[in-house]
Amino acid sequence: MFDAVASMAALCGQCRLWRRAAAAAQLHSGVRCLSAKFDYDLLVIGGGSGGLACSKEAALSGKKVAVLDFVEPSPKGTSWGLGGTCVNVGCIPKKLMHHAALLGGAMKDAQKFGWLVPGQFTHDWSTMSEAVQNYIRSLNWGHRVQLNDKNVKFLNHKGTFKDEHSVRAVSKSGKETVLTAENIVIATGGRPKYPSDVPGAAEYGLSSDDLFWLKETPGKTLVVGASYVALECAGFLTGIGLDVSVMVRSIPLRGFDQQMAHLVTDYMESNGTKFLWKCVPTKVERMPKGQLETTWRHLESGQEGKAHFDTVLWAVGRAPETKALNLEKIGVEVNDKTGKVIVAANDATSVPHIYAIGDVAEGRPELTPSAIKAGKLLARRLFNSSTELMNYDNVPTTVFTPLEYGCIGLSEEEAVRRHGEENIEVFHAFYKPLEFTVSERDSSQCYIKVVCFRNSEQKILGLHFNGPNAGEVTQGFSLGIQCGATYSHLMSTVGIHPTCAEEITKLHITKRSGLDATVTGC
Amino acid sequence: MGNIVRKGKNVIVDKTQMKGLSNWKAEESKEIQQPGQDVDEDRVVANLSVSKQNRDNWEKNTQSGRVQHLLEMGKEDKTSHSYDYDLIVIGGGSGGLAAAKEAAGFGKKVMVLDYVTPSPKGTKWGLGGTCVNVGCIPKKLMHQAAVLGEAISDSRKFGWDVQEQVSHDWDLLTQAVQNHVRSLSFNYRRSLMDKNVTYLNAYGMFVDENTVKATDKNMKETYHTAADFIIATGERPRYLGIPGDKELCITSDDLFSLPQSPGRTLVVGASYVALECAGFLAGLGLDVTVMVRSILLRGFDQQMANKIGEYMEEHGICFLREIVPTKIERIEEGTPGKLRVTATSVKDGENHEGEYNTVLLAIGRDACTHSIGLENVGVKLNEKTGKVPVNEKEQTNVPHIYAIGDILEGKLELTPVAIQAGRLLARRLYGGQNTECDYNNVPTTVFTPLEYGACGRSEEKAIEAFGEENIEVYHSSFWPLEWTVPNKGKDTCYAKIICNKQDNDRIVGFHILGPNAGEITQGFAVAMKCGMTKVQLDNTIGIHPVCAEVFTTMSITKSSGGSVSASGC
């Protein structure tokens, strides 16, 4: 297609926009030609996982597509390239740093497995962050190349709605262009929140937007919050040898199964992460030597605490990035409380040709694969006469804390709330990964729980797995649940020996029975 | 009522029987170092005062399955009155133990006979069978040791400051592995005791239809009768039958407890045992050669098998193809000493010679069915393979003699399969249940350096079963995120699914080559049980960033010839 365009360009040498349209029309005869009214068939604001997937899928249908992506620097001045949160300041760097931390553990294990590792091994932040950043840059580049290959116009511009079909795009240098499009997708994602009532928070603190791009080690760190971002960051920072404290206002991993969440934090505590439970920060001040003096209050006793940290990391939630879009002007409704864009099942906003996908859309899971899938399906509905809607049921997810936690479906609390305790059956087991035996690791938090209906069919409502490689383990089971797996499907599946995942196929102790759920022997 | 009286009678028979065994019992309790615990007495007391749990179970069973029991009453009365046990299991491996414990859970009187004939090199081990002692458990631990070695070298790229000089101590590893194996073996003995199963460390042999002779290591013989029998004797490694093989070579029976590092090693064979052992030995830094007669991993998907071979070759393992050894000689004494291997090409008959410290034979395994007196009871064997044909109820041609595990003809040689089969058999025999073991779509994983997980059919078998025109193969390379930073092979890991176009694009084969393949495959096996189709796969949302998510975004078919090269997020 690229070649075709190029040769056309050589032949006619006319206005660029026309050329593209003609090429598209020629190559995809039968597909509606671009209406003269708009510059683009589709304009996507936000070049993250969802936006890119949507734009590329639309381009595959021969549509004229543009993507606007612009990273507003964090309060600390960190910015990055194309690809959005996941690639730059989310899944990718965090999993790599999590892996770095796991390797630290692996080296301790290795000695029990006969490896002689001379001397003390220490971790060098800058080697790791440089390697991680290099990989991210290669992904940024890869995304640019893909857009180019697929003839998607990319503008490193910030987009603001001018009217229902036009968007003002402003470059870093202030250069302004107006793009018009028949359909517009908002995929601007979210950014970390800072507390507004803590003096010094934004001035001295960092967020996950900054952490992965630090050139020097964060040193002694206070992580504020107990979201998965907070616990994942605290986990890998501890794992690479830093002194880390986590300040938790109420509960860890809100929205996740609380028994699992507490096992996750128990494991972290036993691996050296300190927790300040039921505390809220009140003030951050910079000391003459650069250390950050952080003051907090214990919520129950009201007592004040104070300590010095090299880094204070805010992980108190994320806010949708809608401020700059000028949504109120064109009548796109947002939820006043969450700031997220209200969408219908087909991802349309209150303005029918404007859509929203990914983290910015109200009620959607804030997960990369879900945004990608939603973006692709939206493009197919718009341009490929598909009617398929996104199925948001049973979306699996994994928290990459030191002990990983993977889950699908309902938490135990939610299952009880929806169906009543008497109608659900919980099968559970505490198990010991084979790899933990020789390495003499504590497996107290390696735990599996399957929540089922209590009727004769025992359909699975939720599956929860704490243990190594939880993400890898969980994926296949999510498919099973998608296919309607029941407890007896689990039982009739033969295990793969010796793995951790096989323990899920051997669950037989119900919580109701009160019997010891510790797995013994093979 | 009749049942309970019958139990009482059993105990009396048992007590007389136990007297004859008291020598052995004393010896056993010494061995497991539980002084003060007289197994004999415990056993009798426990049986006399049927434990509360047993009684509850008993009552539950009689109530729930009353009709069943009434129907079977005649048979039970006839048999149980005259035999020492309800069930004797020959072979205390995964399958045998599972069956024994399950049967005991139904209040049955059960005996397990287990005896490990030392390998030609003299290696022996405790209760638990192949998996625990010389199979899955030690090999996965040694594989893990190799994986950790790789982790050490990766870790430098992830910022860890580790010296270049890292070495591996074989003794430390084998000690750690053996300690774990011994603890498992001990747990098995304890769990048999807890469940009131009589365990005899003796070699079992059928004398007549309802009697086995048990010979212990002091050649003391005892006789035991039972209504039902389960043969679960498993398999042992095969030897080549060439000069020097039994005297000089080792097998997987010996490797995991080898007192010294095997050094420069020749692995003969291309079974999964061969490739797994070759893989972890190389991963521990040893110089490893694999001698292959024909193909790798017979029975597995050959595309996957060849990819495993390629990866191993790229990682320093030497493969000698289409060559078979003909003679092994010792050319240097010592531990490990040095052996000369003479081999012949199967293509041109040309002779080859090589020198190794250790020669590990992994050319297959033979069923332990030839010296257990099957001829005395008329249990039919496949003469060629030595395997036992059974029906879907794991029943041999002799109705009260059953067989499970690796000795079954045409079934899978996998621990969890044997366990499942054993448990279900016991439930059918004594629990009034009728679920049969489903040998279809059993997942498995080969723990080669690059792990390979599979469930369902290989591409070859799928073509054979459905016809090439009726299947669609989707495939994709993938680059594990953890491999990016250390810059390990970008198009090495590979995933493949095989769909039956005639049946709603149902997935009939699942294959993955990559880290943690076992952990990945398990859940997909459940999904295959639920009849997963390609559409359902496409509708499932991935978990990011993990390897397993590759299956949720597969769009390239083999027939299209499209590129499978790993792309970004």
B555 touches chain A (CB under 8 A): no
**Chain segment B416-444, per-residue pLDDT in tens:** 999 999 999 999 999 999 999 999 999 99
- pLDDT class of B68 with cuts at 50, 70, 90: very low
Q: Is residue B234 predicted with pLDDT exceeding 90? A: yes
The DSSP output letter for B392 is T
Last residue of a domain, one of A262, A284, A316: A316
Please work out, in degrees rounded to the nearest 5, the angle formed at the alpha carbon of residue A110 by the alpha carbons of A109 and A111.
90
Percentage of chain A beyond pLDDT 90 is 90
CB A392 within 8 A of CB A73: no
Cβ neighbours for A63, distance < 8 A, ≥ 6 positions apart: A24, A34, A41, A42, A383
Neighbour count for residue B428 (Cβ, 10 Å): 18
The tens digit of pLDDT for each residue in B72-125 reads 444 444 444 589 999 999 999 999 999 999 999 999 999 999 999 999 999 999
Name the pairing type of β-strands B351-356 and B338-345: antiparallel
Which CA distances in Å does A490 have to A337, A346, A379, B3?
41, 34, 36, 35
Do residue A103 and residue B161 have CB atoms under 8 angstroms apart? no
Place of tokens 């050894």: B325
pLDDT surpasses 50 at A199: yes
Q: Is there a cis peptide before residue A498, judged by omega within 30 degrees of 0?
A: yes
Q: Which of residues 382-441 of B touch A (CB under 8 A)?
A: 414-417, 419-420, 435, 438
Q: How many Å apart are CA B142 and CA B158, to the nearest integer?
A: 24
Kindly list the residues from chain B whose CB atom is less than 8 angstroms away from the CB atom of residue A479: 523-524, 527, 532, 536-537, 540, 551-552
pLDDT at A314: 98
| SS3 category, B430 | helix
pLDDT at res. B327: 97
Interfacial B residues in 345-384 facing A (CB < 8 Å): none
Is the same domain home to A420 and A439? yes
Binary contact (B160, A501; C-beta < 8 A) = no
A450 interfaces chain B, CB cutoff of 8 Å: no
CATH number at residue A446: 3.30.390.30
Report whether B99 contacts B218 (CB < 8 A): no
Q: Which residues of A touch B137 (CB under 8 A)?
A: 434, 498, 522
Q: Which residues of A touch B532 (CB under 8 A)?
A: 479-480, 482-483
CB B75 within 8 A of CB B228: no
Contact indicator for B115, B202 with CB cutoff of 8 Å: yes
Shared domain check, A340 and A241 = no
Tell me: do A388 and A407 sit in the same domain: no
Tell me which of A259-273, B5-19, B277-291 is least confident.
B5-19
Contact B151 A104 (CB under 8 A): no
Q: Do residue B526 and residue A391 have CB atoms under 8 angstroms apart?
A: no
Helix (H) or strand (E) holding A167: strand A166-170
Question: Which of chain B's residues have a Cβ under 8 Å away from the Cβ of A521?
Answer: 184, 187-188, 191
CATH code of residue A223: 3.50.50.60
**B28: pLDDT confidence band, cut at 50, 70 and 90?**
very low
What is the secondary structure of B245-289 as a DSSP string? HHHH-EEHHHHTT-SS---SEEEE--SHHHHHHHHHHHHTT--EE
| Average pLDDT of the residues in B270-285 | 98
- B348, pLDDT greater than 60: yes
Count the neighbouring beta carbons within 10 Å of the beta carbon of residue B487: 11
Report d(CA B15, CA B37) in Å as an integer: 17
| A164 in the same domain as A104 | yes
Q: Are residues A135 and A155 in the same domain?
A: yes
pLDDT at B7 over 90: no
Task: Give the model's pLDDT for residue A77.
Answer: 96
**Contact (CB, 8 A) for A371 and A377:** no
Q: Which of A179-193, A470-484, B30-44, B526-540 has the lowest mean pLDDT?
A: B30-44
Taking alpha carbons only, the member of A205, A210, A166, A201 closest to residue A68 is A166
Question: Do A431 and A458 belong together in one domain?
Answer: yes
pLDDT at B12: 36
Q: Compute, in degrees rounded to 10, the torsion defined by CA atoms B159, B160, B165, B169.
A: -140
Share of chain A above pLDDT 70, in %: 93
Confidence (pLDDT) at B56: 47
Q: B237: cis peptide before it, omega within 30°?
A: no
Domain check: are A355 and A427 in the same one?
no
Q: Is residue A515 part of a domain?
A: no
* Residues B527-538, mean pLDDT to the nearest whole number: 95
pTM of the full structure: 0.88
**Mean pLDDT within B443-472:** 97
Q: Are residues A178 and A101 in the same domain?
A: yes
Domain boundary pick from A316, A345, A373: A316
Task: Tell me how far CA of residue B139 lies from CA of A472, B255, B371, in angstroms.
Answer: 21, 9, 28
Give the closest residue to A372 by CA, choosing from A56, A41, A114, A11.
Answer: A56
Residues A391-446: tens digit of each pLDDT: 898 999 999 999 999 999 999 999 999 999 999 999 999 999 999 999 999 999 99
Catalytic residues of B: 544
Q: Which residue of A has its CA nearest to B140?
A: A498
Q: A123, A308, A428, A497: which one is catalytic?
A: A497
pLDDT score recorded for residue A238: 98
**H or E element: which one contains B235?**
strand B235-237
Same domain for A55 and A127, yes or no, is: yes
H or E stretch at A103:
helix A91-112
Query: What's A28's DSSP letter?
Result: T
Count the Cβ atoms, other than its own, within 10 Å of residue B56. 12
User: By the 8 A CB rule, do A468 and A448 touch?
Assistant: no
CB contact under 8 A, B144 and A103: no
Q: Is residue A517 part of a domain?
A: no
User: B14 versus B123: which is more confidently predicted?
Assistant: B123
> Does A497 participate in catalysis according to the annotation?
yes
Q: Residue A67 in contact with residue A155, Cβ under 8 Å?
A: yes
Residue A521 lies in a domain: no
The closest CB to that of B159, out of A114, A124, A368, belongs to A124
B221-231 and B167-168 beta bridge pairing: unpaired
Burial class (CB in 10 A: 0-12, 13-18, 19+), B385: middle
Asked whether residue A397 is assigned to any structural domain, the reply reads: no
Specify if A475 maps to a domain.
yes
pLDDT category at B566 given cuts 50, 70, 90 is low
Which of residues A370, A392, A414 is at a domain's end?
Answer: A392
Domain assignment present for residue A225? The answer is: yes
Q: Which residues of A touch B177 (CB under 8 A)?
A: 438
Whether residues A443 and A497 fall in one domain = yes
Peptide bond into B259 cis (omega under 30): no
- Do A299 and A283 belong to one domain? yes
Q: How confident is the model at residue B171 (pLDDT cuts 50, 70, 90)?
A: very high
A512 falls within a domain: no
How many angstroms separate the CA atoms of A283 and B403, rounded? 72
How far are the Cα atoms of B298, B305, B566 from residue B494, in angstroms, in the given order? 19, 12, 9
Average of per-residue pLDDT across B334-338: 90
- Give the model's pLDDT for residue B336: 85
Exposure string for A90-101, b = 16+ CB within 10 A, e = fewer: bbbbbbbbbbbb
| Alpha-carbon A254 to chain mean position | 15
Round the average pLDDT of chain A to a whole number and report it. 92
**How far is residue A200's CA from residue B198's CA, in Å, rounded to a whole number?**
72
Range of the domain at A304: 201-316
| Residue A259 located in a structural domain | yes
Q: CA B449, B463, A473 angle in degrees (round to 5)?
A: 40
CB-based contact A334:A342 (threshold 8 Å):
yes
**Both tokens of residue B410?**
């045409």
Distances (CA, A) of A429 to A44, A291, B140, B156, B516: 46, 45, 22, 36, 21
DSSP letter, residue B201: -
Nearest 10 degrees: Cα torsion B512, B515, B520, B521: 40
- As a whole number of angstroms, the distance between CA B329 and CA A379 comes to 70
What's the rounded mean pLDDT across residues B530-534? 96
Residue A423: both structure tokens together:
């109608």
Confirm whether residue A278 is marked as ligand binding.
no
3-state secondary structure of A169: strand
How many domains is chain A partitioned into structurally?
A: 4
What value does the mean pLDDT take over residues B193-209? 97
Given a contact cutoff of 8 angstroms between Cβ atoms, the answer to whether B494 and B452 are in contact is no
How far does Cα B94 stand from its chain's mean position?
8
Cα distance between residue A44 and residue B164, in whole Å: 49
The shortest C-alpha distance from B501 to chain A (Å) reads: 18
Cα–Cα distance between A420 and A18 in angstroms, integer? 62
Tell me the β-bridge partners of B366: B236
- Show the CA angle centred on residue B24, arms to residues B19 and B28, nearest 5°: 130
Percent of the residues in chain B that have a pLDDT greater than 90, as a whole number:
83
Do A29 and A40 have their domain in common? Answer: no
Query: What tokens were used for B425?
Result: 């058999």
Q: Which region, left, alpha or beta, applies to residue B531 given φ > 0 means left and ψ of -120 to 50 means alpha?
A: left
